[in-house]
Amino acid sequence: MEPHKCSSASPSPAHSPSTDPPPSDVFIIQECNRALEFLRGGDHTKALELVDSYLSRHPKNSSTLLHSVRIHILYATASQIHDSAARIESIKMALESSSRGLALSPNSISFALIHANLLFELAQNDGGSYDAVVQQCQHGLLIENLAVPASAVEKLRKELLSLLGKSKILVECVERKRFLEDNALAEVKKEFQALLRKKKVIKKVGSNFDTIGRVKSYWNDAMSLQSKRELLRNGIDEVKAYLDKKKLVMAKKIFTEAVDYAKEAKKWKFWRCCCCGEKSFDGVWEHIRTEHLGSPSERFPQIVLRRTHQWAVDMIKTGDWRPVDSVCAAEIMERRSANEWHYIDDDERAKLINRIREMLILLIRYQFLASRHFDMLQELIIDLLQKHIPNSVKTDSGLDKTLQSVCFLDVPDLKHVLEFLEDLGSAYELRCLRESEDQLDEQGFWADVRERIVFSGDFSSLVFYERLLRGDIVDPDNGNAVVICNAKHRDANGDSFVDWLWMKTPTIREQLQEWENVRQASTSQAMEFFKIFKAEDQCYQRVCERKNHYSFYWYELDHVKRMCAEENTKREQISEYHLHSYSSLLLKRQKEIESEGDDVRGGFGVYVAWSILKEAQTDTEIRMQINKRRDQAARELYLLDAIILAIRAGMQQTRLKLETVSVYDYRFIMVPLLKSFMMAHLEELVNKHTEEKSNDEIEALLTELADLDAKKNTDN
């Protein structure tokens, strides 16, 4: 960073105790160097005190150099603080100095970049917004009349552009996370679930005690098993007549609608599109995808990330993951040429290895361990093994082909590997995705619908499964409306069916209103999830476009590297070969690309050649530039792969939630309608039985009286 030059001022002969004479630029530089010496010596506190003391004594003569040194000290301090609150406070203090430096040098692109980086660090540490980072980057890119040499301007602008792109992606991710964690949607469902819970309250109504007693007596003592089975069979025409008698017009309309639908679809469940209301037999997603989303995310078929090989997955899940005595195992393997590992008891290493394995299993569970990430992790472990296992032993024993070689590492290296995986998990937003998955309710609004109803063979009646006769209400069910197996159950003893029939439930009119409320809530939630999915898809498109660009960039760099390698081979193998410099090869490549006319790939090819030649001329310099850019592109592609998989996982969760709240179950209204019909029918049977029994008793009494009268006449 270029120091801001302040005009020197002559010291006055006298001054107040709190303010020293204005210093010279040389003195400022000396003070800054002293502070940096303390910092390099590890005394952060002394370094900060020195700068702060100077600024307090010369508040009107501070310079950008002083503030830049103060920022450097505070940032170095923050990087070593483990307490998050203290770290955030240190970053905020650095931001304060950065703001003052910007005020002193508004045309400094260096300070603009420093300020943007500090804003980014603050957002990373306190979970804040990245919008301020985006605004600062855009402001820095607009700065003109630069005080920085032209050779450094492009580098600074590239860093601003890189930070701008990263921040925009994170802004989208934060917005998606906010959508997923929005409690407003949960409150809507909570309100209606409170209504549904009313059905679970088993409370007898006092006025029905006498009726229930008579029904149970008839059920247990007078009703045959065949009659009980017949009670479960509800004639469709009879139910309609019952609803007409009760003047339940809307109930009859929905009943008829449900019966007609189930006859055709062979199930009670259906899906309704939240956008256009179209009804579907077997899911709504395909309709939404083709009619309302325009095949989202399929616009990038080339963005297909290779998953980790199955053998690697099996090894992670079932392999032996215990600490290994690396020295002893290496000697055994070298001597016997066999994979003979010497396991030891080391609690600290075992704990870290288990955490690494758990993290790998978690990444596999969400399909987040892309092949690129697996390869980079493998390379990291191989590099760390250098000090433990000779290369020849690693190759012969296959340690360079298995992640289990992590068991040879010591504690610092294991922490390094764990940090790598945790950074990967952070890029995937694993915490957010796991919380969202935990909140996923696969049954939606219809968790309370448990009874199974099917059509009779001739589709003239609706039949409850005979499990109800023995009080078995809960039955694994997918909402089918046709008979799969309705086995005869001899055990129909007890009166639990009567309890179920007279269970405290809403009236038919209340249930109809609840049906309408739930439908409205379901449509509202489905529309919210539809909007979330569209936002996620747009974010996915932007990230895919960015990955496309970096992929083209990477392939062109790889092509240039191979081109230079071929030149080296020719130099070594052909004695009279006419040497071509790397710069001439790049210029030749640039002309070839321009002649091909491929605007997209060609643009990246021309940029690669131009940007390398701008920074380097000799073969050595060009080789270093190629390797440096390939490493940068690889890191960017690694991060983009993580973001793509995270967005895909979020989209999958949103899709499942959208499908869940878009499903409807006619049994929600059919069960109370049929229960009301069966109650009326059973009461009618009880009353008929009571009347017949009373008539029989009267008949018996009359017969007895007649016999007595006849006997009396005979005696006379």
pLDDT, one tens digit per residue, over 552-590 is: 888 888 888 998 999 888 888 887 778 888 888 888 888
* Residue 473 confidence (pLDDT): 59
Q: Does pLDDT of 306 surpass 80?
A: no
More confident: 70 or 599 = 70
More confident: 205 or 263 = 263
**Do 307 and 644 form a contact (C-beta atoms < 8 A)?**
no
**Do 636 and 263 form a contact (C-beta atoms < 8 A)?**
no
Q: How confident is the model at residue 142 (pLDDT cuts 50, 70, 90)?
A: confident
The 10s digit of each residue's pLDDT in 83-112 is 778 888 888 888 888 888 888 888 888 888
The overall average pLDDT reported for the chain is 77
* Residue 350 confidence (pLDDT): 92
* Residue 261 confidence (pLDDT): 93
Q: Does pLDDT of 477 surpass 80?
A: no
Average pLDDT of the segment spanning 130-159:
79
* Residue 309 confidence (pLDDT): 65
Most confident of the ranges 122-126, 432-436, 477-481, 490-494: 122-126
**Do 504 and 618 form a contact (C-beta atoms < 8 A)?**
no
* Residue 4 confidence (pLDDT): 37
* Residues whose CB is less than 8 angstroms from the CB of residue 521 and which lie 6 or more positions away in sequence, other chains included: 188, 189, 191, 192, 445
591 CB-side CA count, 13 A: 5
The residue behind tokens 């600490």 is 323
Q: Strands (DSSP E) along 206-277, which ranges?
A: 233-235, 269-272
Q: How confident is the model at residue 200 (pLDDT cuts 50, 70, 90)?
A: very low
Most confident of the ranges 80-94, 103-117, 227-241, 696-710: 227-241
Most confident of the ranges 126-135, 522-531, 609-618, 696-705: 522-531
Average pLDDT of the segment spanning 281-293:
86
| Residue type, position 217, single letter | S
Q: Which of 530, 427, 543, 648 is nearest to 179 (CA)?
A: 530
More confident: 338 or 596 = 596
More confident: 305 or 144 = 144
More confident: 682 or 601 = 682
Cα–Cα distances in Å, from 440 out to 445, 468, 484, 643, 654?
Answer: 12, 30, 30, 22, 9
> What is the radius of gyration, based on Cα positions, of the chain?
39
Q: Does pLDDT of 433 surpass 90?
A: no
Q: Does pLDDT of 207 surpass 60?
A: no
Q: Does pLDDT of 180 surpass 60?
A: no
CA distance 182 to 426: 21
pLDDT above 70 as % of the chain:
73
Q: Does pLDDT of 327 surpass 60?
A: yes
Lowest mean pLDDT among 191-200, 401-410, 524-533, 693-702: 191-200
Q: Does pLDDT of 68 surpass 70?
A: yes
Q: Which of 532, 522, 527, 517 is nearest to 444 (CA)?
A: 522
Q: How confident is the model at residue 301 (pLDDT cuts 50, 70, 90)?
A: very low
**Do 223 and 555 form a contact (C-beta atoms < 8 A)?**
no
Q: Does pLDDT of 24 surpass 70?
A: no
* Residue 308 confidence (pLDDT): 61
Average pLDDT of the segment spanning 234-257:
93
* Residue 315 confidence (pLDDT): 80
* Residue 280 confidence (pLDDT): 86
Q: Which of 479, 486, 471 is nearest to 452 (CA)?
A: 479
The 10s digit of each residue's pLDDT in 352-401 is 999 999 888 888 877 777 777 888 888 888 888 877 766 656 665 667 67
Q: Does pLDDT of 2 surpass 60?
A: no
Cβ density class 335-352: b for 16+ within 10 Å, e for less? eeeeeebeeeebeebbeb
* Residue 7 confidence (pLDDT): 32
* Residue 716 confidence (pLDDT): 57
CA distance 289 to 662: 14
Average pLDDT of the segment spanning 684-710:
73
Q: Does pLDDT of 21 surpass 50?
A: no
More confident: 295 or 482 = 482
What domains are defined for the chain? 25-180 (1.25.40.10), 310-427 (no CATH), 548-571+579-665 (no CATH)
* Residue 252 confidence (pLDDT): 94
212 CB-side CA count, 13 A: 17
* Residue 701 confidence (pLDDT): 64
CA distance 282 to 272: 10
CA distance 356 to 420: 10
Q: Does pLDDT of 239 surpass 90?
A: yes
* Residue 340 confidence (pLDDT): 62
* Residue 145 confidence (pLDDT): 58
* Residue 460 confidence (pLDDT): 93
pTM of the predicted structure, to 2 decimals: 0.57
pLDDT above 90 as % of the chain:
10
The 10s digit of each residue's pLDDT in 512-529 is 898 888 888 889 989 999
* Residue 254 confidence (pLDDT): 93
More confident: 243 or 451 = 243
**Do 324 and 397 form a contact (C-beta atoms < 8 A)?**
no
Q: How confident is the model at residue 608 (pLDDT cuts 50, 70, 90)?
A: confident
Q: Which of 436, 417, 451 is nearest to 366 (CA)?
A: 436
3-state SS class at 285: helix
Q: Does pLDDT of 298 surpass 80?
A: no
Q: Which of 69, 72, 75 is nearest to 28 (CA)?
A: 69
* Residue 553 confidence (pLDDT): 86
Q: Which residues pair with 665 in a beta bridge?
A: 269
* Residue 134 confidence (pLDDT): 87
Q: Strands (DSSP E) along 409-500, which ranges?
A: 453-455, 461-464
Q: Does pLDDT of 696 surpass 50?
A: yes
Q: Does pLDDT of 231 surpass 60?
A: yes
* Residue 203 confidence (pLDDT): 39
